[in-house]
């Protein structure tokens, strides 16, 4: 299992991935889930992958040579000459379908599902930044102001903090901090997600970035964030009032008359048996 998140903001893009691959409690390995495609001044793209590792690696390799025969005058479209991120995402979807056509039947015969999830985002000169989530069938959806981030892999533990913090106008550094908190929450609750982490922060219209870092558990910023987040959560929890049942002693009683019936309760007499 793995966990990856991509965030699209007015100011730029944030990508974060773990690197743990788990094939059982005694077979844990490290494989990077992020790859950056960059041509300074022209295009900047990032691919995150989750799911079956062999499928994800095949898709990444296929993407380097994959073409769509739909360009002007029959010119083949690749991720390196596509004029839009949408076309680049179509090339990626085509790569997924090619791997499916090649491997899906053999995998099925071995009892393995064709399972891969991808986040693909970036910017090509001439248009704004775009972020896509690509599915196992090669189809994809695009991030919107209402849904400015995508997650793949073990996403449920890291989602609440993203929902509460991330908005299109969130500053990049704040979004990077939020992504790391999301990852820390996931690693706290799921051992199949683990370090080192890969983080990329891209500023809009730069078409390159120097904000790329690999983070292990000895990283000073991550150690501070990990300890502070747990401590602050406990402080906030302790600052909340305990529930009070008697509305005569509080303005926020737990038990109020809402007109809804109480939960079902079965009461038995001492001489009654439940069958």
Residue 188 resides in a domain: yes
Residue 147 resides in a domain: yes
Range of the domain at 58: 3-220
Give residue-wise pLDDT tens across range 122-173: 999 999 999 999 999 999 999 999 999 999 998 899 999 999 999 999 999 9
Residue 101 resides in a domain: yes
Average pLDDT, the chain: 89
- C-beta of residue 9 within 8 angstroms of C-beta of residue 175: yes
Give residue-wise pLDDT tens across range 216-225: 999 999 999 9
Residue 125 resides in a domain: yes
Mean pLDDT along residues 76-93: 95
Residue 229 resides in a domain: no
72 DSSP 8-state letter = G
Domain CATH for 57: 3.60.20.10
Query: Quick check: 185 pLDDT over 90?
Result: yes
- The reported pTM is 0.87
Residue 233 resides in a domain: no
- C-beta of residue 131 within 8 angstroms of C-beta of residue 150: yes
Domain count, the chain: 1
Task: Name the pairing type of β-strands 43-51 and 34-39.
Answer: antiparallel
d(CA 191, CA 133): 24
144 three-state secondary structure: coil
Residue 274 resides in a domain: no
Give residue-wise pLDDT tens across range 190-215: 878 888 999 999 999 999 999 999 99
d(CA 152, CA 92): 16
């Amino acid at each position: 299992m793995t966990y990856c998140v991509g965030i699209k903001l007015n100011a730029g893009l944030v990508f974060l991935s773990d690197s743990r691959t788990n094939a059982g409690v005694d077979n844990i390995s490290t494989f990077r889930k992020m790859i950056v495609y960059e041509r300074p001044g022209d295009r900047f793209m990032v691919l995150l992958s989750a799911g079956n590792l062999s499928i994800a690696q095949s898709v990444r390799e296929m993407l380097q040579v994959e073409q769509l025969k739909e360009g002007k005058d029959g010119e083949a479209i690749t991720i390196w000459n596509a004029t839009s991120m949408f076309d680049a995402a179509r090339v990626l979807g085509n790569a997924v379908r090619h791997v499916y056509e090649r491997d899906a039947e053999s995998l099925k015969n071995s009892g393995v599902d064709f399972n891969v999830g991808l986040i693909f985002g970036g910017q090509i000169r001439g248009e704004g930044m775009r972020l896509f989530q690509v599915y196992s069938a090669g189809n994809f959806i695009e991030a919107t102001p209402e849904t400015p981030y995508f997650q793949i892999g073990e996403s449920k533990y890291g989602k609440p903090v993203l929902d509460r913090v991330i908005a299109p106008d969130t500053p990049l550094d704040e979004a990077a901090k939020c992504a790391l908190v999301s990852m820390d929450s996931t690693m706290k609750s799921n051992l199949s997600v683990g370090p080192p982490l890969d983080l990329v922060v891209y500023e809009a219209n730069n078409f390159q970035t120097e904000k790329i870092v690999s983070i292990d558990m000895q990283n000073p910023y991550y150690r501070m964030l990990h300890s502070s987040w747990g401590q602050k959560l406990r402080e906030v929890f302790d600052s909340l009032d305990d529930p009070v049942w008697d509305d005569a002693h509080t303005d926020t009683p737990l038990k109020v008359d809402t007109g809804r019936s109480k939960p079902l309760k079965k009461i038995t007499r001492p001489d009654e048996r439940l069958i």
